[in-house]
């Protein structure tokens, strides 16, 4: 059954009816509007293509015989020019050969003109078509976001470890049936590698669906993965497809897999091995051809040995294990990554930064990068956004060297002191060094100035929440007030 109950969440799907029978189009529009959909109508292919160009359309209900035009040719044009739009073919009479031709030409489904009288089945078909359209749209937007983030489809890296990893990933991608386990610290680019494998696989035209297993409680995670039948629980008013089903003939990326509940791991194991599953509350198995790529920043074997993860699922997931090395173990990639991010942010921010000074580059090369590539990107973005020089200098790089150096000295003695020294700026005098608190205050005030005192934008520039920014500003205001009161008190003393 269609996921009509979630239309508000999905933004209310928009359906375009294309039929030269205006009376039929009008009645179908009214039925769809009553069900909560946005509905439009057109009577020709030209009008149809024009409306799809002007309005975000999720589903087209297309008459097979559109006057003198052939509906199949219109279907092919829609699929070619607007591949995210799902097309349901409608006809006065059911015809199996025509239905087969339509499905081969890319139709989502094929129904008769009387189908809307059986409202449950009809709205189920429309709702599922909308979910398919939204899935394609989300997949496109996700690709755009990844390309915006990295400005490339390829992973930047020339170190021996990364080159070997990419060769292995390429071989894995060519075998779409293999389950893949990607391991690595936070920020190394595990999802980017998963996307690379999907894009290089024979199923690259299928959806790439990502799910963070730590973001949802167990019961909601199960519903997201496997879907549910109408009436499975109190709020299950309509059928909902799970991501296993949405990702059919594509890739399901399960991030933070180690945080999945043990009971749900058993159900996941069965789904992977049998390539089938049952929705929550369902009695029938649903077969899918979905490739699973899992990722974790934990040592999954240790998690399994200590009883926090199923050992059998670990072995099933790690058919092909890939480990992305942390940035501190491939320092020869820091230079290319820095050049890459400078070029990217020059384009995005309208800057003309030439790169890093030798001293700034030395700081980048000797820093430990606990946040890996993601941290390097954030550091370069912040430096290029907040500074006006055409060269990134050491004091532009917010790497918290003092705090890290103090910890190192406390725990590692002389060796830690040497590390702290390597992190310190290589220019300026002692009198020019300010405290971390003062440096933080300066950057906050500078971000506010750049954003014209827009706190939301300033918080985004700084990489903190708006509430954190407000708290800091209240602290500064209180400090000024206390200082003013102390000064007044001093002047009032005899």
Give the residue with greater pLDDT, 5 vs 40: 40
Residue pair 122/48 in contact by the 8 Å Cβ criterion: no
Q: What is the model's pLDDT at position 463?
A: 67
For 4-134, the fitting CATH number among 3.40.640.10, 3.40.50.2300, 3.40.50.920, 2.40.160.20 is 3.40.50.2300
Domains of the chain by residue range: 4-134, 158-325, 326-433, 434-487
Where does the pLDDT of residue 95 fall: very low under 50, low under 70, confident under 90, or very high at 90 and above? low
> Residue 356 region, left (φ>0) first, then alpha (ψ -120 to 50), else beta?
beta
- Confirm whether 4-134 and 158-325 share one CATH topology: yes
Task: Decide which of 3.90.550.10, 3.30.1360.170, 3.30.1490.190, 3.40.50.300 is the CATH code for 158-325.
Answer: 3.40.50.300
What secondary structure letter does DSSP report for 379? H
Q: Indicate the class that CATH gives domain 326-433.
A: mainly alpha
pTM (global) more than 0.75: no
CATH class of residue range 434-487: mainly alpha
- C-alpha span between 222 and 266 (Å, rounded): 11
- Please report which confidence band the pLDDT of residue 294 belongs to, taking 50, 70 and 90 as the band edges: very high
pLDDT band at 462 (very low <50, low <70, confident <90, very high): confident
Is the pLDDT at 444 greater than 50, yes or no? Answer: yes
Contact 394, 425 (CB under 8 A): yes
Residue 59: which of 23, 8, 12, 115 has the closest Cα?
Answer: 12
CA–CA separation, 101 and 75 (whole Å)? 11
Helix (H, G, I), strand (E, B) or coil at 246: helix
Q: What pLDDT sits at residue 225?
A: 92
Work out whether strand 227-228 and strand 240-241 pair parallel, antiparallel, or are unpaired.
Answer: antiparallel
Vertex 117: Cα angle to 114 and 119 (nearest 5): 130
Comparing 419 with 96, the larger pLDDT belongs to 96
pLDDT digits (tens, 9 = 90+) for 334-344: 999 999 999 98
Q: Give tens-digit pLDDT for 190-240.
A: 999 999 999 888 888 888 999 999 888 888 899 889 988 887 777 777 778
Least confident residue range of 140-149, 245-254, 307-316, 464-473: 140-149
Q: What is the pLDDT of residues 378-427, one digit of tens each?
A: 999 999 988 888 899 998 998 864 334 333 333 334 443 443 343 444 44
Residue 76 CA to residue 323 CA, distance in Å, equals 43
Range with the poorest average pLDDT among 178-182, 284-288, 455-459, 480-484: 480-484
Of 254 and 448, which is predicted with more confidence? 254
CA distance 266 to 289: 19
Question: What number is the average pLDDT over the span 345-351?
Answer: 89
Rounded CA-CA distance 91/19 in Å is: 10
Question: Quick count: other Cβ atoms within 10 Å of Cβ 449?
Answer: 11
Predicted confidence at residue 265, as pLDDT, reads: 94
pLDDT band (50, 70, 90) for residue 282: confident
pLDDT for the residue numbered 9: 40
Mean pLDDT computed over 68-75: 84
Q: What is the pLDDT of residue 485?
A: 56
The sheet with strand 109-112 has its strands ordered as 38-42, 14-18, 59-63, 86-91, 109-112
Farthest CA pair distance, the chain: 104
pLDDT-derived band at 111, boundaries 50, 70, 90: confident
d(CA 320, CA 295): 12
Q: What percent of the chain has pLDDT over 70?
A: 82
């Amino acid at each position: 059954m269609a996921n009509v109950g979630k239309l508000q969440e999905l933004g209310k799907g928009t359906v375009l009816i294309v039929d030269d029978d205006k009376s039929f189009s009008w009645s179908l529009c009214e039925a769809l509007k009553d069900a909560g959909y946005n509905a439009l109508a057109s009577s020709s292919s030209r009008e149809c293509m024009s409306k799809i160009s002007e309005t975000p359309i999720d589903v087209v209900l297309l008459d097979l015989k559109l006057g003198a035009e052939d509906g199949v040719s219109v279907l092919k044009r829609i699929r070619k020019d607007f591949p995210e739009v799902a097309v349901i073919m409608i006809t006065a009479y059911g015809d199996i050969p025509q239905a087969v031709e339509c499905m081969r030409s890319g139709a989502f489904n094929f129904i008769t003109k009387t189908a809307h009288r059986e409202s449950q089945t009809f709205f189920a078909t429309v709702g599922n078509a909308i979910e398919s359209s939204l899935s394609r749209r989300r997949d496109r937007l996700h690709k755009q976001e990844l390309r915006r983030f990295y400005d490339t489809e390829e992973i930047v890296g020339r170190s021996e470890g990364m080159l070997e990893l990419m060769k292995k990933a390429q071989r894995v991608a060519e075998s779409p049936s293999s389950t893949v386990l990607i391991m690595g610290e936070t920020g190394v680019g595990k999802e980017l590698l998963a996307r690379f494998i999907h894009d290089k696989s024979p199923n690259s035209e299928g959806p790439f669906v990502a799910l963070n297993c730590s973001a949802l409680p167990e019961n909601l995670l199960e519903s997201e993965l496997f879907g549910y039948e109408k009436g499975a629980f109190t709020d299950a008013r309509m059928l909902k497809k799970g991501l296993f089903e949405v990702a059919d003939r594509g890739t399901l990326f399960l991030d933070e897999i180690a945080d999945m509940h043990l009971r749900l791991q058993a159900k996941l194991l069965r789904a992977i091995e049998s390539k089938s599953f049952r929705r929550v509350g369902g009695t029938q198995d649903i077969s899918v051809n979905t490739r699973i790529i899992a990722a974790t920043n934990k040592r999954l074997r240790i998690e399994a040995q200590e009883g926090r993860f199923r050992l059998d699922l670990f072995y099933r997931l790690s058919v092909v294990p890939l480990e992305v090395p942390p940035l501190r173990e491939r320092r020869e990639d820091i230079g290319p990554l820095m050049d890459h991010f400078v070029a990217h942010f020059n384009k995005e921010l309208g800057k003309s930064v030439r790169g890093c000074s030798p001293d700034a580059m030395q700081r980048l090369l000797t820093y430990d990068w606990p946040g890996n590539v993601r941290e390097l990107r954030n550091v370069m973005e912040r430096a290029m956004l907040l500074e006006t020089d055409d060269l990134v200098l050491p004091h532009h790089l917010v790497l918290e060297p003092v705090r890290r150096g103090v910890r190192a000295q406390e725990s590692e003695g002389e060796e830690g002191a040497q590390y702290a020294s390597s992190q310190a700026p290589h220019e300026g005098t002692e009198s020019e060094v300010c405290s971390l608190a003062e440096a933080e205050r300066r950057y906050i005030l500078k971000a506010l100035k750049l954003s014209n005192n827009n706190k939301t934008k300033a918080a985004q520039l700084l990489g903190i929440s708006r509430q954190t920014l407000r708290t800091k500003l209240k602290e500064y205001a209180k400090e000024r007030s206390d200082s003013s009161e102390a000064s007044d008190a001093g002047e009032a003393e005899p």
